Amino acid sequence: MEIMIPYETLYIYEICGEIQGSRNFFKEDFIGCWNEEGSSFLFFSLPHDEQVEAFADQRGLSLLTRNILDYKAWQAGEELRPFKIGNLVFSPPWENALVGKEETLVHIDPCVVFGTGYHPTTRCCLRTLWEIYQKERPRKILDLGTGSGILALAAAKWGAKRVLAIDCNELAVETALRNVSLNGEWERIEVRQGKAEDFIDEEADLICANIHLRVIEFLLKKRALFQKRWFILSGLFLREGEEIEKRLRTSGIIISQKHEEENWITLTAFNKNATRS
């Protein structure tokens, strides 16, 4: 049976102030809530002007904007189609992806969060993970800024025994949990809500941080980062990446690879002194 894309049109309401536990307030046609820098964005598949206005008024919050957007436009004009990295075929669940004998299908429903696999940083992180897993098999993975959970799922499919996937946004956590369930990876992947810097002390062989520069800069101040064997740092523009690379080399970390695509760079770093978990 064909599965239709559930997000044809997005109705987006921007509210001043952060909303937590949004699913306690909204049910029908509600996609989720995205919090960012003091604002909340409520996503619906159908208009809910009166309900959102009443909700904001009751809590003394300001409704700033209303927007109607085609889902394809939200995804920067990209139509989500199956694509392959290594032996994995990533596909939205509403597409009939063709999978070869030695390939594994991974269903990714990105909802409205980061992690379709089409952004250069996500693609480079996936390629980097595949390359690392051709050399050795990191057992414990820490995925900071998991978004849709695509990198956590890739690591699990390639051989990770435990993946801790972290995101500060409740909609990203909901989306990642749904994708973990969709792919039957409950036993290996744990998804939790929180700030990346609060989880840097977790035991891991490999950290993947496709995340804001300011968070990466904060992580670089933490001793625990440099105790990991591998780390993949992305979400960086070229000039930012050059500065991060200098700081890593100064700390005695080996830059084993750099992936550059468009204006973005992904750094793969290796600590030869770190022991495997």
Count of CB atoms situated within 10 Å of the CB of 48: 18
Residues 268 and 254: their CA atoms lie apart, in Å, by 9
What residue ranges of the chain have pLDDT lower than 70? 1-4, 275-277
Residue 276, pLDDT score? 67
- What strands, in cross-sheet order, belong to the sheet with 62-70? 30-36, 39-44, 9-16, 62-70
Give the containing element (helix H, strand E) for 43.
Answer: strand 39-44
pLDDT tens-digit profile of 151-190? 999 999 999 999 999 999 999 999 999 999 999 999 999 9
The SS3 assignment for 223 reads helix
- The dihedrals phi and psi of 228, each to the nearest 5 degrees, come to -80, 155
Identity at 168, one-letter amino acid code: C
Q: In which residue are the tokens 């952004």 written? A: 119
HSE (side-chain half, CA atoms, 13 Å) at 214 = 1
pLDDT tens-digit profile of 10-26? 999 999 988 888 899 99
Contact assessment for residue 134 and residue 160, using Cβ atoms and an 8 Å cutoff: no
Q: Which sign does the torsion angle of CA 95, 34, 149, 178 carry?
A: negative
Residues 206 and 228: their CA atoms lie apart, in Å, by 6
Helices (H), the chain: 49-58, 71-74, 120-135, 150-158, 170-182, 213-219, 238-250
Q: Which domains does the chain have, with CATH numbers?
A: 9-74 (3.30.70), 114-270 (3.40.50.150)
Contact assessment for residue 232 and residue 131, using Cβ atoms and an 8 Å cutoff: no
Q: Which two tokens stand for residue 1?
A: 């049976």
pTM here is 0.94
Contact assessment for residue 193 and residue 168, using Cβ atoms and an 8 Å cutoff: yes
Count of CB atoms situated within 10 Å of the CB of 255: 15
